[in-house]
Amino acid sequence: MYFAGLSATYNKMSALEALSPLDGRYADKVARLRSYFSEFALIRYRIWVEIEYLIVLGKLLKLEGVLGHLDQLHDFYHNFSLLEAARVKEIETKTQHDVKAVEYYLREALAQWLPDPELCYIHFGLTSQDINNTALPLMLSECSRTVLWPMIRRLVGKLDQMSIGCYSLPMLARTHGQPASPTTLGKELRVFVERLTLQYQHLIDLPFSAKFGGATGNFNAHMAAYPCFDWCAIADDFVQSFGLVRMPTTTQIEPYDNLAAYCHALARINTILIDLCRDLWSYISLGYFFQKIPPELVGSSTMPHKVNPIQFENAEGNLGWANAGLEHMARKLPISRLQRDLTDSTVLRNLGVPLGHSILAYQALMQGLSSLAVNVTVMTDDLNQHWEVLTEAVQTILRREGHIDAYELLKAFARQHPTVTRQKLHEFISSLDVSEKVKDELRALTPFNYVGTAGNSAKLSGLALAGGEDTQ
């Protein structure tokens, strides 16, 4: 959900004076997050929860003013403006309590529709965390479904397309940085597609959990005022109306275990993407990819020939920064002294920061992937220069034929010839004590056809990742 005028107002802020690059250099790239994690957004989500709770009480207690102004109450939070948020902040300078400021503001603003006795039901029986711990998972849920998850799906989809496009293209593998048994480029990309797909599913399967139960989670005040109502059931229905799950047994705050799991799950996705960035950076360095870039782009301030893989480097840096924040939240948030302390509050205000750096990384990575073109010539030359990788195949077939010392034989051959060419390998094969049929089998091996199942596994497709709408 986007709020009128918010982005335009932020765009007027001087990027040169911003403390954080998310609000400065990269402000335009993360503008959508302000609709979910800015101070204005937090106030508006609180307003939303407060009013919907008031409506629940209105229906439960048959409050005529509330029931007679349902449309106006809904419109109130839908059309909540920056000017109105500024009034909340003005009240907060006196209360020194952000949620109480929202309550006082609502009493002031809704007095046009509701009589004083009904204004008493604003924030009735609640503590601030009933509002915060419902507003925050709602913010995260909406941001995830409309911004974050679609970006991850598009990234995985792009990798899937690239994998399919080069599923049979042979490539020299490198283990420990050394030439190793050949693979295909498509299969190596498929590794990341499958890893990301699995972890994405873990991410979207996690519930967004809320807390709604009064000062210490027991509905003490609610039961004192109206003991005849099933407040647990009422709260369950209320929280579920937002698409959230209510934690039934809590202290004053939601325990944040599911939020910690969310941070861990997103950090795992980011870690896989760091791995991808480093591999692609290395493939570019090897010349397996070249980058299609605009002619005006500058790679180096002094070396005109340079085309740096900056998108993958920027993505890696932002993913690392994002994970630092996500991992801190995952470690800190589930810990609270006794029934409540405030350490969670100041940390949660930064939830948009690691998400912002994640989004910067996803954008850079998508741009980087879109700029890549495969350099088949370099990949072919690289394979042609490393016929020694076939010694694995030769010694394995010799073992099949009963040669117990096959490994040692091929090890000695490879180390006698620092550069193994096709001719040297075939001369060695000709000297072997095996049948001509087996020698022909060995001579048929090349670095281009010795790829095992790689070409087949990378041919798989048909990704259909769930978890929200692809909106931009």
In order, the DSSP letters of 310-340 are: HHHHHHHHHHHHHHHHHHHHHHHTT--STT-
Angle separating helix axes 436-443 and 422-430, nearest 10 degrees: 170
Which of 300, 370, 435, 461 is the catalytic position? Answer: 300
Contact status, residue 353 vs residue 26, Cβ threshold 8 Å: no
For tokens 């997103």, the residue is 266
User: Are 422 and 387 in contact, with CB atoms under 8 Å apart?
Assistant: yes
Q: Among this protein's residues, is 176 annotated catalytic?
A: yes
Q: How far is CA 7 from CA 137, 146, 317, in A?
A: 22, 17, 26
Phi, psi for 237 (deg, rounded to 5)? -65, -40
Contact 362, 309 (CB under 8 A): no
- Is residue 461 part of the annotated active site? The answer reads no
Q: Which amino acid does the sequence have at 255?
A: P
Catalytic residue among 176, 301, 305, 431: 176
What's the rounded Cα separation, in Å, for the pair 357 and 366? 14
Contact of 145 with 468, CB cutoff 8 Å: yes
Interacting residues of 313 by C-beta distance below 8 A, sequence separation 6+ = 277, 281
* Residue tagged 């609640």 (tokens): 126
In the chain the first and final C-alpha atoms are separated, in Å, by 12
Do the beta carbons of residue 13 and residue 94 sit within 8 Å? no
> For 166-192, b where at least 16 C-beta lie within 10 A, e where not — what string?
bbebbbbbbeeeebebbbbbbbbbbbb
Residue 325: how many CA atoms within 13 Å on its side-chain side?
19
Phi, psi dihedral angles at 373 (to 5 degrees):
-135, 135
DSSP string, 208-267: -EE--SSTTSS-HHHHHH-TTS-HHHHHHHHHHTTT-EE-SS-SSS---HHHHHHHHHHH
Q: What are phi and psi of 179, to 5 degrees?
A: -55, 135
Largest Cα separation within the chain, whole Å, is 102
- As given in the structure block, the two tokens for residue 68 are 């007679």
Distance CA 237, CA 294 (A): 54
Q: Report the SS3 class of residue 170.
A: strand
Please identify every residue annotated as catalytic: 176, 300
